Structure 1
Amino acid sequence: MKALVIYENNLPNIKLLACNFDSIKVASFKKDNAADYLPSNPIKFSHEGFDFISKIKDIKDYDVIFFSNEVLSKEVASLYAGKNALGVISHVSEIKVHKDNSLSFIVYGWGNLAVEIMSKTKPTVCILHSSTSKDKYNPLTIDLIEVSNDESLNLIETRYQNIDDKIKTKIAIGIGLGVSKDLFEKIFFIAEKLGAEIVCTRPVSDMGYLPYEKVIGDTGKEIETDFYIALGISGSIQHLSGVQAKTIIAVNSDPNAPIFAKAQIKINDSVERVIEGLFQWAKSF
C-alpha cells in the first residue's frame, strides 16, 4: 500500500499513517520545505498546485493521496479530485486497512458520532484532520519538479493557518450570515457584559464584517467553549467542525436549519428579536 502526503506549511503527523502503508512519500508546495517532491517555484494558487502534483511520477499508482488541513492544500485537493473524477473524504482522523486490502476512513462528527467511509476510487483523495508533525522529515532523495508561476495573478497577502491554534473561552457568540450588520453593535455590547468571545463563519469575514482571525471552521480556527451561542448560523459541517462546545444555543428563524440537529438549546425565532431581548437584559447590569 502506497500513500502520498501533500502539504504547504503544516506537515501532517506521518507516524499516524506509517502503520497502514508500506511506502509513504511527501510533496510540498514550498521549495524550502523537506519533501520527496518539491516545486521549482513556490506554489501560490490552486491551479499551480494542480500542475505540480499532476507531474509527480506515477501519482495514480498511489492508493491514497493525503492533503494537509490547510486552505491552499484543500483547494488543490478539490481541484485534483474534480478533474480526475475522484471523490474527496474530508476530516479524516483514522485509516483502516481491511484483509482484502480495501481501505476505510474514520470521520468524527459531533459528540461521539463517527462515520466509517469506504474507499471507492484509486487513488483516494483525503483531507487529514490530524495535528502537525513534531518531527523533521528527511527524504532519501528529492525530485525537483518544474512548474511555472502564474504571472497573470498578483498575490497581495498570504495568511498562514495554524491548525493547532485554538480559541478557549467559557462563552462564545458566533455570528452567521443570518445576522444583519446593523445588529453587530448590540452583539458586541452583549458579549462585553457576558465576557464572551465573538467569532464568525467564513462568509461573514469574507464580506469584511469581522477579521479573518475570528473565523471558526475548516478554513479558520477551532474554538473550545462551555457555551456557544450561534446567531443566524445555518450549521454547515465546514463551520461546526471547528466548534467544540459543551452546550450549543442555536438561534435561527429557519426551523429546518441543520444546526438545530446539533444544538442542545434550540430557539426558532427571529434573530433580531432574540438579540434585542438579550440587549435589553444586558443593559440592566
Structure 2
Amino acid sequence: MKSKKDPHTNRLGLYVGLLANSATWSGVTAFIVYHPEFESMGHFIMVIFGILYAFISLSLCIDKVQLRIYLISYILPISIAYFTKQGSDNVYIACLLWASTVPVYRIAMMHHREYWSLFHQAYLLKNYSAKLAELARTDDLTGLMNQRSFNQIFEQEIQQAVESRQSYGLLLVDIDHFKMINDSYGHLTGDHCLSQIGLILNRLIEDNIKVARYGGEEFVILLPNATEEKALALAETIRQNLSASVFRFIEREFTITVSVGVAVTYPQQITDAQRLFQFADEAMYAAKAAGRNRVALYQ
C-alpha cells in the first residue's frame, strides 16, 4: 500500500476544498461585517469553522505550496470583506488575520509529516487487525468458517434453539475416498478440490444457513428451525450437485461423491451441541456403510 496520496485525487480534493473554503469564509465574514447585531455569534461561528479549516488544510495539503494556497484562500476573502467596510477597527482585524497565517503555517508544516505518518500507521494497523481477525475465523482453502469458528457459533445456535424452543438440524458432509484423490493426483489437486467444493456449497446454501469446513474432507452445515424434510432435501441437493460436478486441475479431470449425515433435533429432544454433532456423525458413517454417495438420517 502506498504511503502517499494519488496526485490526481489530491489535486481534485484541493480544488474542491479551495472553492468550499473561499465560499465559506466569504459568506461568514460578510455576514459578520454587515450585520453588527450578530457580531458575537458570528465570531463564534468563525472560531468553529476555523477549527474545521485546520483539519481540512492538514488533510488535503501534501506540500508547502498547497498549504500556502489554502492559507491565502482562507485569509483573502476575510480581508477583502473587512477592508471594504470602512473603519480602523476593520483594518486592524484584517491585519491581525494576515499575521495569524504565519504561526498557522509554521505549526502546520512542523506537524504535517508526523501527522500523515501516524495516520498512515493507524490505517495499516486497523487493516492488519481486521485481516488477522478474518484469518482466525476462516479456512484458508475454502474461505468458509473454520472448525474453531464453527464450534463457537454452534454452541450459541443450540443455546438459542433451546431458549426459543425451536428445532435444529445439522448436516455432516464427507468426501468419499478423498485419500485416493491425494494419493493419485497429489495434495495440490486435493486442495483444489476442497476449494471448489467450498464455492459450490456457498452457491447452494442460503445466507441464513451457516457452513464450515470442519477439518480434512469434512464439511458441516447448520440448519436453524429445520424439519427433517427440509434437512434431507438440502442434503440431497448438495449430494447431487457435488457428484455431477467435474473438477479440473493441471490437465486432470475427475469427479467425486459425498456421504451426508443428517440429524434433526426438536424442542423436546434438544440436549447439547456435542450430542447433535454425534448424531450427524453416526448418520454419515451409516451412509458410508450403506455404499457411500448417499444421504442418511439419524433416527
TM-score surpassing 0.5?
no
TM range (shorter): under 0.3
| Structure with the higher strand share, 1 or 2 | 1
Work out which of the two has the higher radius of gyration on C-alpha atoms and give 1 or 2.
2
